[in-house]
Amino acid sequence: MRVLTSPPEIQSVSREWRLQGLRVGFVPTMGALHDGHLSLVSRSREVCDRTVVSIFVNPIQFGPEEDLDSYPRTFEEDCQQLDRIGTDCVFAPLTRDMYPASSQTRVVPGMLARGLCGSSRPGHFEGVTTVVAKLFHLVAPSVAFFGQKDYQQARILLQMVEDLNFDLELRILPTVRESDGLALSSRNRLLTESERREAPTLHRALQEVERCYNSGERSADRLLGAGRALLAEATHLREDYFEIRDDAALEMRAQLGSGAVAALAVRAGATRLIDNVLLGDAARRLGQG
């Protein structure tokens, strides 16, 4: 496995592969890898000839009060895991090479970035679209793989690919969970014991919303009420938002249609956790069903 840090180097390696007619798969990450990340890498290995994984904790997607400094960094272990599952290349650039002092251009997302995590984390998605656009230019993949766990991010990136004519296919894969339902996240390792014990409540609350939706309930208020009743049992989790939106435009609806996403963000002490569940036709529309 090659480990590259220089942007021109990854660009030329990837160009070489494309000239040989190979399909390049790409998995962008911030490291501290877990089985959720590895599921994306494995899928890339299945459907592409070469797989590139980037590890870059992107400073411009963190707000001034956020956890950039305490974000977990486990580079050596990450590389060992990636090597073991057959990754061809890790791209781990330095911040100064991604954002030299002279850099000033940003990719600004539209309506999809308003609300949900966009409200709690101003500027976050602009940081994400900017870094992903840069990485897409450097790696020039045929297929890029993202997780449904960050559903709003995935929707925004699908829109960016369409709006800016990136010549690649974006695939959104299902959320990988612990056996108790907690969505795997690099931030889970920051939870205290009591926070970790209660963290699966996110998934249980979302499952309750799904159960009610599947039994015919279409009132967003009543569905959220059912989910919140469960969430209220967790004393260490403080709701940041709990919303149900249509799965495509991410707009709020009082009465839900054939596809929706229930999305939840909580604070557990200093750690922020998010999760979501797709309702109705939403999973099929994402190419998962």
Residues that bind ligand AMP (CB under 6 A): 29-30, 36-37, 39-40, 146-147, 149-150, 175-176, 183-186
Nearer of residues 131 and 212 to ligand AMP, judged by Cβ = 131
Min dist CB 8 to ligand AMP, Å, is 24
Measured from the Cβ of residue 253, the count of other Cβ atoms closer than 10 Å reads 14
Min dist CB 124 to ligand AMP, Å, is 11
| Pairing verdict, β 50-55 and 271-280 | unpaired
Active site residue ranges: 37
Nearer of residues 32 and 279 to ligand AMP, judged by Cβ = 32
User: How far is the C-alpha of 145 from the C-alpha of 43, rounded, in Å?
Assistant: 8
Min dist CB 74 to ligand AMP, Å, is 11
Nearer of residues 78 and 208 to ligand AMP, judged by Cβ = 78
**What is the Cβ-side half-sphere exposure of residue 91, based on CA atoms within 13 angstroms?**
28
Min dist CB 163 to ligand AMP, Å, is 19
Three-class SS of residue 149? helix
Of 4, 12, 106, residue with least CA distance to 56:
4
**Alpha-carbon distance values, 19 to 12, 14, 23, 91 (Å):** 10, 9, 10, 20
The token pair that represents 9 in the structure block:
């180097």
Nearer of residues 23 and 187 to ligand AMP, judged by Cβ = 187
Measured from the Cβ of residue 47, the count of other Cβ atoms closer than 10 Å reads 14
